[in-house]
Amino acid sequence: MLHLLAAEPLHLGHVDYVILIIYFLFVLGIGFVLKRFVKTGDDFLLSARSVPAWICGLAFISANLGAQELIGMGASGAKYGLMTAHFYWLGAIPAMVFVGVFMIPFYYGSRTRSVPEFLKLRFDEKTRALNACSFAVMTIFSSGASMYALAALLEILLGWNFHASLVVSALIVLCYTCLGGLTAAIYNEVLQFFLIVLGFLPLALIGMKNVGGWSGLVAKLNGVAASHQPTALAPGTWTSVGQHLSSTSANPMGVDWFSLLAGLAFVLSCGYWCTDFLVIQRALAAKSMGAARRTPLIAAVPKMFFPFIVIVPGMIAIALMYATQHGASWSHGFEIPAGNDGKPNFNMATPALLGHYFPQGMLGLGLTALMASFMSGMAGNVTAFNTVWTYDIYQSYINPRQSDRHYLRMGQFATVFGIGLSILAAYFASKFNNIMDLLQLVFGFVNAPLFATFLLGMFWKRGTGHGAFWGLLGGTVAATIHHGCTLPKYTAAGAKGGWLVRAGHAHIYATDMQQAFMTAVWAFGCCFALTVIISLLTRRTKSDEELRGLVYSLTPKVVDESPNWYARPGVLGVAILVVMFALMAWFW
Amino acid sequence: MDLDVRLPMGIMFVLLGAVLAVYGAVSDHRVYEKSLGININLWWGLVILAFGFLMLLLAWLGRVSGRTTTPTIKPGERERPGR
């Protein structure tokens, strides 16, 4: 009964290829047209601060959306149900509001060209070097992971040659980012955003109709909950976001309120949205301070509603599979394809649903949208990489005091070798899948403490470079140690944790999600404490005057120049939070 | 940047919408069993077509009212904090 999708790839018709080709022609065309406007390094790497807020906002969310989010969120929707929405609600919206209202004034106002450069302005060179190097490595591996995932998916879904898919997708991204720079990447991200919405919204709508609307979905998912292994879960655990968080055993994700709020909502989400140059870069491209502050706020609006496009299909998929396994005929034998271990491969939930409902035509659109999401992730990582490489590594340490034209050329060259390295990383991922998971883990260790560093940097003038550097390093080490001493339930020690202690002595968490959240809390806490202690023990290297514009207490309050009260970042921020809470209450 | 992104975006979605809607109109209707009997190509193609026209309209209105994305800071004039 289980269909191995590898055995029966989806059949594309001529119309699907036409749709695909139209999309790629426009993506490349935008790169060619924008080439004329790229005259300086700033144009290429920073868009010369000239982009309107709404474009930056959509690029902000689209660059983040890339990689495996469409696939991964569908998988999580199948595995954990609507609680996955917390990655979009509690785990994103407050952080996005915070960065727009409180942190962008320092990023944009300091006229820094990158996040590592901000660390240099605020702290010192070694802190910048630490962040720049780890970020550069991270972006290459993230880009490579996207490429690998895309090529692997296309091979399974369509039977396309893995190597050809990899190289062609890399060449397309290379083409438009090398020609048009950051602006081409941003424009294409806006295109990709709408394509993703238009490609996946009908999937969610049709699926909802098929299962009998929201109440029908709830009823079917209660059946899924009841058959959950190893212990049955209460009705509503797959479709409510707040009711079942009192203990880790009460919900499919295996988390509780503390780890959700402290781990996800606070540390992990702020660690990403407030410090990751991939998204901050899009805000820095905005044409004014007001536009820059509004960028994450504008991005927060579609972000809130994305669960309905990316998570609900996963929930529908598992409901359908449950129905099939219990003999229903209306699900037409749909099942989530099995992986190599015989268990359902949840990453195939959304693609399988695509193949189940979409005839040729829409199928082409859906697949194009899927490819677009991967490519926006690749392009986002590459543009972030080439800026950090050119300004924070090359210009700072290797070859300073060259002409702007020299750095423009270097930026373009960095795009080429960045993509080349990403391809290597993609092959590395295909050979050593476990190592890639390990690398993602390591990056998590690096990201989690970063928010502590920035919080202290922007809001505490006593923070010193020594404190920041050792705090960052210490937080990363703390995360690693915590991982080595803990394990999710029913997991053997090794890549998943517990490698630092003797067998049976690891602290057990309910799920790997819980472990990840608590690791983040530890990393943040240690970094914060270390940074404070070492800062107090070391002398300040920067005077108040040098820190003006970089620290809250030393900066004149940002006067919002927009004439309309409703466009003020503070007002927008509050409105967005109200809507988020309303959504959470509705699906409580 | 003097290219309004809504222009190429509008053209692309008009094209995609047209392709889908036309295909939906001329294709064998039996394939729509899997989409619950709804001719999803035709209907959603029309939605996309409308969206494309909306983008083109907004781009045209933007041009007419003179609001283009002009840089407020010339790249060469910026002070460089990195030096």
Mean pLDDT of B50-73: 78
State the pLDDT confidence band at B79, using cuts at 50, 70 and 90: very low
With a threshold of 0.85, tell me whether the complex ipTM lies above it. Answer: yes
Burial A211-239 (b: 16+ CB within 10 A, else e): beeeeebbebbbebbeeeeeeebeebbbb
User: What phi-psi label fits residue A508: left (phi over 0), alpha (psi between -120 and 50 degrees) or beta?
Assistant: beta
pLDDT at A533: 94
Residue of A362, A387, A391, A398 to mutate for B, most B C-beta atoms under 10 A: A362
CA distance, residue B46 to nearest chain A CA (Å): 12
Instruction: Determine contact: B13 vs chain A, CB below 8 A.
Output: yes
Supply the range of the domain harboring residue A474.
Answer: 433-555
Q: How many CB atoms lie within 10 A of CB B50?
A: 13
Residue A8 to residue A156: CA distance in whole angstroms: 9
Q: What is the DSSP string of A16-41?
A: HHHHHHHHHHHHHHHHHHHGGG--SH
State the pLDDT confidence band at A5, using cuts at 50, 70 and 90: very low
A358 contacts in chain B (CB < 8 Å): 34-35, 40
B35 contacts in chain A (CB < 8 Å): 206, 357-359, 362
Residue A122 to residue A110: CA distance in whole angstroms: 10
Predicted confidence (pLDDT) per residue in A350-390, tens digit: 999 999 999 999 999 999 999 998 888 889 899 999 999 99
- How far CA A484 is from CA of A262, A491, A507, in Å, comes to 21, 13, 10
Residues A378 and A260 placed together within one structural domain of the fold: yes
State the pLDDT confidence band at B55, using cuts at 50, 70 and 90: very high
What tokens does A588 get?
Answer: 């409580």
CB contact under 8 A, A30 and B8: yes
The kind and range of the H/E element at A509 are strand A507-509
Residues A342 and A240 placed together within one structural domain of the fold: yes
User: What phi-psi label fits residue A239: left (phi over 0), alpha (psi between -120 and 50 degrees) or beta?
Assistant: alpha
* Chain A residue nearest residue B38, CA to CA: A206
Name the residue among B1, B71, B82 with its Cβ closest to that of A395.
B82
Instruction: Determine contact: B35 vs chain A, CB below 8 A.
Output: yes
How large is the angle between the packed helices A115-122 and A433-459, nearest 10 degrees? Answer: 40
What tokens does A454 get?
Answer: 């920035």
Residues A521 and A566 placed together within one structural domain of the fold: no
Residues A199 and A95 placed together within one structural domain of the fold: yes
Residues A561 and A488 placed together within one structural domain of the fold: no
Q: How many CB atoms lie within 10 A of CB A400?
A: 10
Residue A297 CA, distance from chain mean position: 17
A407 contacts in chain B (CB < 8 Å): none
Predicted confidence (pLDDT) per residue in A76-93, tens digit: 888 888 888 888 888 889
Predicted confidence (pLDDT) per residue in A575-588, tens digit: 999 999 999 888 88
CB contact under 8 A, B12 and A23: yes
Name the residue among B19, B40, B70 with its Cβ closest to that of A202.
B40
CB contact under 8 A, B78 and A111: yes
User: Poorest-confidence range of A66-70, A321-325, A335-339, A427-431?
Assistant: A66-70
Sort A585 into a burial class: Cβ within 10 Å, 0-12 / 13-18 / 19+.
Answer: exposed
Residue A239 to residue A332: CA distance in whole angstroms: 24
CB contact under 8 A, A50 and B71: yes
Residues A334 and A470 placed together within one structural domain of the fold: no
Residues A463 and A417 placed together within one structural domain of the fold: no
- Look at chain A and report how many structural domains it folds into: 2
A389 contacts in chain B (CB < 8 Å): none
Instruction: Determine contact: B25 vs chain A, CB below 8 A.
Output: no
B72, pLDDT greater than 90: no
What tokens does A89 get?
Answer: 């609600």
Residues A18 and A166 placed together within one structural domain of the fold: yes
Residue of A56, A287, A405 to mutate for B, most B C-beta atoms under 10 A: A287
Name the residue among A111, A287, A356 with its Cβ closest to that of B72.
A287
Mean pLDDT of A211-218: 90
B68, pLDDT greater than 70: no
pLDDT at A435: 63
CB contact under 8 A, B8 and A361: no
User: Poorest-confidence range of A33-42, A564-573, B69-78?
Assistant: B69-78
pLDDT at A562: 66
CB contact under 8 A, B40 and A15: no
State the pLDDT confidence band at B76, using cuts at 50, 70 and 90: very low
| pTM of the shown model | 0.88
CB contact under 8 A, A39 and B31: no
CA distance, residue A38 to nearest chain B CA (Å): 9
A52 contacts in chain B (CB < 8 Å): 69
* Chain B residue nearest residue A404, CA to CA: B76
CB contact under 8 A, B12 and A183: no
State the pLDDT confidence band at A94, using cuts at 50, 70 and 90: very high
CA distance, residue A36 to nearest chain B CA (Å): 10
Name the residue among A15, A22, A187 with its Cβ closest to that of B15.
A22
Sort B45 into a burial class: Cβ within 10 Å, 0-12 / 13-18 / 19+.
Answer: buried
CA distance, residue B53 to nearest chain A CA (Å): 14
**CB–CB of A217/A311 below 8 Å?**
no
Residues A458 and A338 placed together within one structural domain of the fold: no
Three-state SS letters, A157-175: HHCCCHHHHHHHHHHHHHH
Burial A560-569 (b: 16+ CB within 10 A, else e): beeeeeeebb
Three-state SS letters, A113-126: CCHHHHHHHHCCHH
- What is the rounded average pLDDT for all residues in chain B? 81
Predicted confidence (pLDDT) per residue in B26-44, tens digit: 988 888 888 888 899 999 9
Residue of B5, B47, B63, B80 to mutate for A, most A C-beta atoms under 10 A: B5
B69 contacts in chain A (CB < 8 Å): 50-52, 55, 287
B11 contacts in chain A (CB < 8 Å): 26
* Chain B residue nearest residue A28, CA to CA: B8
Instruction: Determine contact: B20 vs chain A, CB below 8 A.
Output: yes
B50 contacts in chain A (CB < 8 Å): none
Instruction: Determine contact: B57 vs chain A, CB below 8 A.
Output: no
- What contacts A159, CB < 8 A, 6 or more positions away? A9
Residues A467 and A425 placed together within one structural domain of the fold: no
Residue A369 to residue A100: CA distance in whole angstroms: 28
Residue A186 to residue A180: CA distance in whole angstroms: 10
Q: Is the peptide bond before B71 cis (omega within 30 degrees of 0)?
A: no
Residues A416 and A453 placed together within one structural domain of the fold: no
If you count them, how many residues does chain B have?
83
- How far CA A279 is from CA of A16, A183, A384, A448, A491, in Å, comes to 32, 14, 9, 16, 34
Residues A262 and A352 placed together within one structural domain of the fold: yes
Instruction: Determine contact: B30 vs chain A, CB below 8 A.
Output: no
Looking at residue A164, which CATH number applies to its domain?
Answer: 1.20.1730.10
A47 contacts in chain B (CB < 8 Å): 1
Q: What is the DSSP string of A61-115?
A: HHHHH-TTHHHHHHHHHHHHGGGGGGGTTTTTHHHHHHIIIIIHHHHHHTT-SSH
State the pLDDT confidence band at A437, using cuts at 50, 70 and 90: low
Residue B27 to residue A31: CA distance in whole angstroms: 34
CB contact under 8 A, A15 and B19: yes
CA distance, residue A335 to nearest chain B CA (Å): 15
State the pLDDT confidence band at A4, using cuts at 50, 70 and 90: very low
CB contact under 8 A, A361 and B23: yes
Predicted confidence (pLDDT) per residue in A10-26, tens digit: 889 999 999 999 999 99
